[in-house]
Amino acid sequence: MKKIFVIIVLIGFMFINLGNKTTVADGELDLLKIASILQDENILISEWSLHAREKMEMLDKVKEIKDYTEGLKQQFSDWEWSVQSSEGHFEAVAILKRNNEMETIKILSTPIKDQYQTYVIYEMKGQGWDQKTEESVSKRTDNRITDIFRGKATTFSCIKGEFNDKIDKTLPLEIKHLLSAFKAKEVEALKEDAFISSSAYSTMFSTSVGAGEKEINLQLGIRNQGLGGKTTIVVGTPIITIEY
C-alpha cells in the first residue's frame, strides 16, 4: 500500500486547525503563484484545483439555511442543483461544467442540539493551464468568493503536473531546489526510492495548518514512474488536495 503523507479528503478541511486565515482579496491568488513557479521550472500543468470554505456562523436555523440556499439558486440559476435532507441533515450541491473545467458549490448543515452547524464549500478545478485559463480563474474566483461567502473564506490551492524532460537531479535534490523556488523551509518529509513528499513553511503563503508544534503552509510530492516513465509533481497550499 502506497504511503501518502498528505490529507486529500475535502471534508477533512472542516476539522483542520487553521493558522492565519486569508482571502483571495489579500493579493495574488495562491494558485497563480504556484502555477507561475511550476511554469518557470518547465513543468507541464495537467490538473489544478481551488477550494474555498467558510463556517457560516449566522446560518444556524432551518429557515436561514433554506433562504440562503434559495438565494444562491437564483443567483446561479444556470447551474445544476440537487438538494437532499435526511434526519435533520441538509445538503445542497450545485455544479457547472464547461470545457475542461468544473465548478461546485456545496452547502452542508448538521443539527447540533437546537441549532445547525453549516459549512459552505466552493471548488473550481480543471485540466491544463495557459494564459487564458489564468485570466479566467483570477477573474471568476474574485467574483465567486464575493457572491457565495459572507465572511472570510479559507482557500486551498493545488496543482498537479509533470516534468517536460527527464529530471537531471535525484528526487531529494529536486525537492530541495523547488523548496528554494517557493522560498520555503522544510518541516517534515517522507522519502522512498521513487517517491518523496515534503511539508514546509513558505513566506509566500499566509494560510497555515498545524503540524505538531510547528506550522506548515506548503506541501510538495514528487513521484518517479521508473525507467523511461514520467516524473509527476503535486504542489498544494496549505496542503495537497489532489490525490496522487
Dihedral sign of CA atoms 163, 164, 169, 170 in order: positive
Q: Peptide bond preceding 238: is omega within 30 degrees of 0, i.e. cis? A: yes
Helix or strand or coil: residue 48? Answer: strand
CA distance 212 to 199: 12
Domain boundaries, the chain: 10-237
What CATH topology corresponds to 10-237?
Answer: TBP-like (3.30.2030)
Q: What is the pLDDT of residues 195-231, one digit of tens each?
A: 999 999 999 998 899 888 899 999 999 998 776 678 9
Q: What is the pLDDT of residues 139-170, one digit of tens each?
A: 899 899 999 998 888 999 999 999 977 776 78
Predicted TM-score (pTM) of the model is 0.85
Within 128-193, strands assigned E span 154-163, 184-191
CA distance 11 to 131: 31
